[in-house]
């Protein structure tokens, strides 16, 4: 499926918006879980 986002696509987007990946879980065959933490700005 061409519209399916990959975990790496979401991780890249989250990093660009100030989040950092804490945990990644694979839930085969079609699902995955990502846990992010918001970085605080001083």
Q: How far is CA 18 from the centre of its chain?
A: 12
Report pTM.
0.80
What's the rounded Cα separation, in Å, for the pair 20 and 2?
A: 26
First to last CA, the chain: 41
> 5: Cβ–Cβ under 8 A, 6 or more apart, which residues?
none
Per-residue pLDDT of the chain (42 residues; tens, 9 = 90+): 578 899 999 999 999 999 999 999 999 998 999 999 999 876
Half-sphere exposure of 27 (CA within 13 A, CB side): 8
């Amino acid at each position: 499926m061409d519209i399916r986002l990959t975990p790496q696509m979401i991780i890249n987007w989250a990093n660009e918006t100030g989040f950092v990946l804490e945990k990644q879980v694979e839930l085969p065959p079609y699902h995955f879980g990502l846990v992010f933490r918001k970085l605080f700005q001083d």
